[in-house]
């Protein structure tokens, strides 16, 4: 289905508004923009393809943009009631001016999502995820990825899922497994992560990874802090990622003349919790310090990783890229 736009207050989809529990949607797509501008807390379940899905959605995709007051998903508004979505994707941008925004699904509750992806930009206030805004009930996400750039004005923000909240006493029934996160996160909130922004004690994450160029607030994450299997704190908050902060980089050069000879430097990188020291293996110092010196190769003393360093004008500044 193609068209300019579809609008409504709630349960609005580019193709279907409300799919019942016996429904099956297969091999469908839409390029329609879906809009819900009504300013009401009762509005929601806005999806690029389906507003609220309670049955099966298979081999479907949406490329239109989705915009609303709240509860907006690139493909589905919500997937609930033991519903399933498999081999689906969404490429449009998603904007929710309030809570719940997901690149593919805004709210996954008591359902399963597999072999699916999202690539569009995602913007919201709270519960914002590159793939799913919020995961609840007894639900599972497997073999999925998102390369969405995620922006949130408030809290609970994830490269894949904004927050995972399971019913009490149902351990590991709310799960994410074998998934990847790319893109980036921009947020002013306290709870965020490359995979999930919030993980309660009944939820689980396994065999999930982020791309090396994944950034949070413009900063890369140290290699040992993938935020793939986060700690759980009494049913509460995921451990925050350690960010590399370029302004806190201190470099000391060994004494050498301005030649093309290798020099040795000592580099300190400030993370959220502590300072880690790295030995810079090789830098070629050019005669003109305003030129880029070299894309160096760092062998960390405390981490099993490489970090690329861009050195420009030693006397004034340095930055990590």
Q: pLDDT value at position 149?
A: 97
22, 147: one domain: yes
| pLDDT tier for residue 103 given thresholds of 50, 70 and 90 | very high
φ/ψ of 246, rounded to 5, equals -60, -40
Q: Are 94 and 101 in contact (CB under 8 A)?
A: yes
Confidence of residue 158 (pLDDT cuts 50, 70, 90): very high
Kindly state the average pLDDT of the residues 84-104: 96
Domain span holding position 309: 246-320
**pLDDT computed for residue 215 by the predictor:** 86
Examine the domain organization and report whether 256 and 213 are in the same domain.
no
pTM for this model (two decimals): 0.71
pLDDT at 126: 96
152 belongs to a structural domain: yes
Any idea what the CATH number is for the domain that residue 142 is in? 2.160.20.110
Q: Which residue has the higher pLDDT, 277 or 145?
A: 145
**Could you give the percent of the chain with pLDDT greater than 90?**
47
| 255 lies in the same domain as 204 | no
pLDDT at site 228: 40
Name the band, by pLDDT with cuts 50, 70 and 90, for residue 224: low
53 and 193 in one domain? yes
């Amino acid at each position: 289905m193609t068209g300019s736009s579809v609008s409504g207050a709630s349960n609005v989809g580019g193709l279907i508004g409300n799919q019942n529990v016996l429904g099956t949607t297969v091999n469908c797509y839409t390029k329609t923009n879906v809009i819900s501008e009504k300013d009401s807390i009762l509005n929601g379940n806005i999806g690029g393809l389906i507003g609220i899905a309670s049955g099966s959605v298979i081999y479907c995709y949406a490329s239109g943009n989705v915009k609303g007051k709240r509860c907006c998903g690139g493909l589905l508004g919500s997937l609930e009631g033991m519903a399933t979505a498999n081999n689906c994707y969404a490429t449009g941008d998603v904007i929710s001016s309030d809570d719940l925004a997901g690149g593919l699904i805004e709210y996954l509750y008591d359902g399963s999502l597999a072999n699916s992806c999202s690539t569009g930009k995602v913007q919201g206030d709270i519960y914002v995820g590159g793939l799913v805004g919020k995961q609840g009930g007894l639900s599972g996400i497997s073999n999925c990825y998102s390369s969405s750039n995620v922006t949130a004005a408030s809290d609970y923000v994830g490269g894949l899922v904004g927050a995972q909240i399971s019913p009490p006493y149902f351990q590991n029934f709310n799960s994410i497994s074998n998934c990847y996160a790319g893109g980036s996160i921009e947020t002013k909130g306290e709870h965020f992560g490359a995979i999930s922004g919030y993980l309660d004690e009944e939820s689980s994450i396994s065999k999930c990874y982020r791309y090396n160029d994944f950034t949070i607030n413009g900063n890369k994450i140290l290699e040992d802090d993938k935020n793939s299997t986060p700690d759980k704190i009494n049913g509460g908050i995921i451990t925050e990622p350690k960010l590399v902060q370029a302004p806190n980089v201190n470099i000391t050069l060994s004494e050498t003349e301005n030649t093309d000879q290798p020099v040795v430097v000592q580099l300190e990188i400030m993370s959220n919790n502590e300072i880690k020291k790295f030995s810079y293996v090789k830098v070629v110092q050019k005669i003109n310090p305003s030129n880029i010196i070299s894309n160096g190769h760092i062998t960390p003393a405390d981490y099993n990783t490489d970090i690329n360093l861009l050195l420009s004008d030693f006397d004034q500044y340095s930055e990590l890229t």
